[in-house]
Chain A
C-alpha cells in the first residue's frame, strides 16, 4: 500500500469552475390568514387559527388539514411556550435569525396544538432542553414578517397557565389561553418580499472546458458524434440523439450562414446593446446545428436568411462580440434549410 496520495502521483487536471449566485426578491400575496398573522406579529400579537376539530394551529393556515374546509376562526395565543424539540446550530449562516450560535427550536406556544419553528437565544446546548419554557423576544423594528419575532429566549419558572406578568417598562403581553380575534388591524400587511439566494459552484465539464479553451485562441471547436457524424457546437460531451459520448474535436467556421433571425426592438435588462439589433441563428461552416449570435456591420433591415458572416472579436471577450457580413455571396436556401 502506497502512502502517497493518488493525486500527487497523477495530478488531476485543473477543473474549470466559477461561482454562480442566483438571487431574486420574490413577492408574495399573503391572502387573508397570513396577512392577519404577519400584521399581528408587527403588533406583537401572535395569532393562530382554530380548526373544525378545535385544534389551534400556529402559524395559521387557510384550510383545515383534516376536513379541507376553509377556516377563518382566528385566535390570539400566548407569546410564551414550551420547547418540543431542538437542535443546536454551532455555526450560524448568513440570513439566519441570530449571528451567534443558537438552538433551532420547535415551540408550542401556550394555547396551541402545533409547534412553531424559530431560534432560541441560549448560551450553549447545555442550556437547552425539551420541555423548557421560552418566550418571544420581539424585534425592535417590526414590519409584518416572521422576523418580527427576533428569536425566543428562556422563560423558566413560568408554567403554562401562570398569570402573565408584564415585562417592566414595556407593554408586553404574554397571553395565556387562546382568545378569539378578528384578525383586523390598521394598515394590514398584504404582501411580503421573500428574497431567495442560492450559491453554487458551477463546473462546465470537460467538453465545454475544451470549447472555452479554444475560444481563448479565437477558434471555435465542436465534437463529432461517432455514430451520426454530426458536429455539435458547443459540444456537450455526448450526442443527444444517439446518446453516446463524443470526443473527436472538430474546428468549425470561422465563417457561417445566417439560417434565420429576428430583429429585437425592445431593450432587455442587463444587456448593453442598442436596439434595434439582429439576433440570429448562425450555422458555422462544418457545424451540425446553428448557434446564436448578434449580427453587426450591416443595417438591421438588410440582414437576410442565407447571409454569410464571420466573427468579430473584441479585446478580452470570451465569445465573439458579434458576426458581420463576410462579403461572400449569400448561401442557397437548400444548403442550410436542414439547419433551420
Chain B
C-alpha cells in the first residue's frame, strides 16, 4: 500500500454566478452547487463521509460561523464538517484540506464547497474597519493592488496595453462558460482600453466583478473513482504557503510564498518544466495585470518576461498555454468560492468536460489561488491519468 491514497475529482458543481441571487438563502445557494457536484459524481448525500467548507471572512456577510447552520443543507448532520479560512485563497486551501483527508485515508469520499454571497455582504467595509489611531486606508481594494501593478510595469518594462489584453481575453472566454457571471457579448479591445481609469494604472474593465456563487467538488479514492460515471481528474500534487502581509523585503510583485508553493506543487507532481508540461492554467487574477505577474511567480516565464506570453497570444484559449479558459476571476468573483472555481475548472479541463471553453487535449492543468495582501497561496495540479505511485 502506497503512502498516500490517490485522490480523484469525480464531481464538480457550480451555480450560475450572478450579481445577486435574491431568490435563495445562503443555504439554498450552497445546496445548488453541492447537488450538482453529487449529480456529476452519480452520488447521494449518504455516500459522502465528510464535508469541508470554505468562505472568506465572516464579516463579509455578517454570519458568524455560517458552516454551523449550513450543516443540514450540505448533508453534514452526523458527519465530520470543518471550515477552512485563508482569505481570498480559501477556495483552494479548502479543496486541499479535503484532498488530504482522502489522501491520508481518513475519509473515502469528501464533499468540499466554497461560497460567497457578495450581494448580502460588504467586502470593502469588512476589510477596512476603522481601527482607532491608525491612518485610514486611502483607497479601495484596487487601490491596494494598483501600486504593485505599477511596480511590475516598471520592473518588467511591459507596455501599458498588456492589462487590457488579459481583460479582453478573459471576458471573451467567459462567453463560452455558461456559469460565468459577466457575459459581455459586445466586448471589444477598444472598449476595455477606453474604460475609465479607477486606480491608475488599473481600468474599470480590468477589475473583477462582485458575484454571488458557490462551487463544490466531490473528491474520492481509487475505489470511488472506479465507480464514477464520468472521467475523474487526478490530483498529482497540492501545496499551500503563507507569509506576513507586510514585512521588510516582501516582494509584492512576486511573493516568495507563491514561488515556494508552485515549486512544491511541481515537485510533488513531477513537473520539471511547467511551461511545456502543463496544458491549461486557472489562476487567480482579480486585476488583469496579475496574469503576467503570476506567470512569472509560478515559473511559466522568467522574471520580467510574463507579459510577453500574454502579448503574443500564448495564454489565449487556443494558445500554447491557455490561462483562465473559464473567464477567470475577472469574469466571476464570489470571493470565497473564486479559488475553488479555479481548482474545479482545472479539473474540468483534464476531465474533458469544460464544454465550449475546453482546451483541446488538456492532460495536466494547474489551479491557483491567492488571498489576503498576497500572503496566502494554494495550488493544485490535476491530470487526466492517475499519478505515478
Interfacial residues, chain A to chain B (CB-CB below 8 A) = 16, 18-20, 22, 24, 26-34, 61-70, 190-191, 194, 196, 202, 204, 208, 212, 225, 228, 230-232, 239-241, 259-266, 268, 270-271, 273, 276-277, 279-281, 288-289, 292-294, 305, 318-319, 333, 337-338, 340
Contact = CB atoms under 8 A, between A and B. Distances in A.
Interface in B46-97: 46, 59, 61-63, 71-75, 77
A281 B147 contact: yes
Contact of B28 (A26, A62, A228): A62
Nearest to A208: B133
A3 B201 CA distance: 67
21 contacts: A31-B28, A61-B72, A63-B75, A204-B133, A240-B244, A241-B244, A259-B151, A262-B142, A262-B201, A262-B202, A263-B199, A264-B138, A264-B139, A264-B143, A279-B138, A279-B146, A288-B248, A305-B151, A338-B249, A340-B154, A340-B251
Q: Which of A26, A260, A270, A294 has the most CB of B within 10 A?
A: A260
B132 A202 contact: yes
Contacts of B137: 292
Interface in B17-31: 20-25, 27-28, 31
Contacts of B25: 28-31, 33-34, 62
Interface residues of B, number: 64
Interface string B231-246: 0000000000000101
A66 B77 contact: yes
Given A27-B120, A29-B20, A33-B25, 15 more contacts: A24-B122, A29-B25, A29-B120, A65-B71, A190-B22, A191-B22, A241-B248, A262-B147, A264-B138, A264-B139, A265-B198, A266-B199, A279-B143, A281-B147, A340-B251
Contacts of A32: 28
Q: Which of B74, B138, B146, B151 has the most CB of A within 10 A?
A: B138
A319 B135 CA distance: 7
Contact of A63 (B31, B121, B130, B149): B31
Interface in B102-137: 117, 119-122, 125, 129-133, 135-137
A82 B62 CA distance: 32
A44 B196 CA distance: 52
Main secondary structure of the interface of A (DSSP, over half): mixed
A24 B125 contact: yes
Given A241-B249, A261-B150, A262-B199, A63 B132 contact: no
A69 B38 CA distance: 13
Q: Which of A29, A70, A262, A281 has the most CB of B within 10 A?
A: A262
B155 interface: yes
Nearest to B79: A68
Contacts of B22: 29, 190-191
A271 B120 contact: no
A64 B200 CA distance: 51
A340 B133 CA distance: 25
Contacts of B300: none
B139 to A, nearest CB: 5
A224 to B, nearest CB: 10
Given A16-B133, A240-B246, A281-B147, A340 B24 contact: no
Contacts of A261: 147, 150
A167 B146 CA distance: 66
Contacts, number: 176
Given A62-B28, A65-B77, A20 B131 contact: yes
Nearest to A337: B155
B197 interface: yes
A65 B63 CA distance: 20
Contacts of A212: 133
Contact of B154 (A22, A27, A228, A260): A260
A44 to B, nearest CB: 23
A202 B133 CA distance: 10
A129 B137 CA distance: 53
B253 interface: yes
A339 B133 CA distance: 25
B140 interface: yes
B28 A262 contact: no
Contact of B138 (A70, A259, A292): A292
A289 B196 contact: no
Given A20-B132, A262-B139, A319-B135, A62 B248 contact: no
Contacts of A61: 27, 72
Q: Which of A18, A22, A230 has the most CB of B within 10 A?
A: A22
Contact of B129 (A20, A273, A279, A288): A20
Contacts of A262: 139, 142-143, 146-147, 149-150, 199-202
B79 to A, nearest CB: 10
A186 B266 CA distance: 59
A239 B249 CA distance: 12
B155 A340 contact: yes
A126 to B, nearest CB: 35
B249 A230 contact: yes
Contacts of A263: 197, 199-200
A212 B146 CA distance: 28
A19 B63 CA distance: 23
A292 B135 contact: yes
B217 to A, nearest CB: 18
A202 to B, nearest CB: 5
A70 B137 CA distance: 45
A32 B22 CA distance: 11
A260 B147 contact: yes
Contacts of A67: 45
A276 B201 CA distance: 13
A232 B248 CA distance: 7
A314 to B, nearest CB: 13
A73 B305 CA distance: 60
Contact of A265 (B28, B136, B196): B196
Contacts of B138: 264, 268, 271, 273, 277, 279, 292-294
A233 B97 CA distance: 36
User: 10 tightest A-B contacts by CB?
Assistant: A68-B75, A262-B146, A31-B25, A288-B248, A230-B248, A18-B132, A263-B200, A26-B62, A68-B45, A240-B244
Contacts of A66: 77
Contacts of B27: 31, 61-63
A281 B74 CA distance: 45
Given A61-B72, A292-B135, A240 B31 contact: no
B148 interface: yes
A293 B147 CA distance: 12
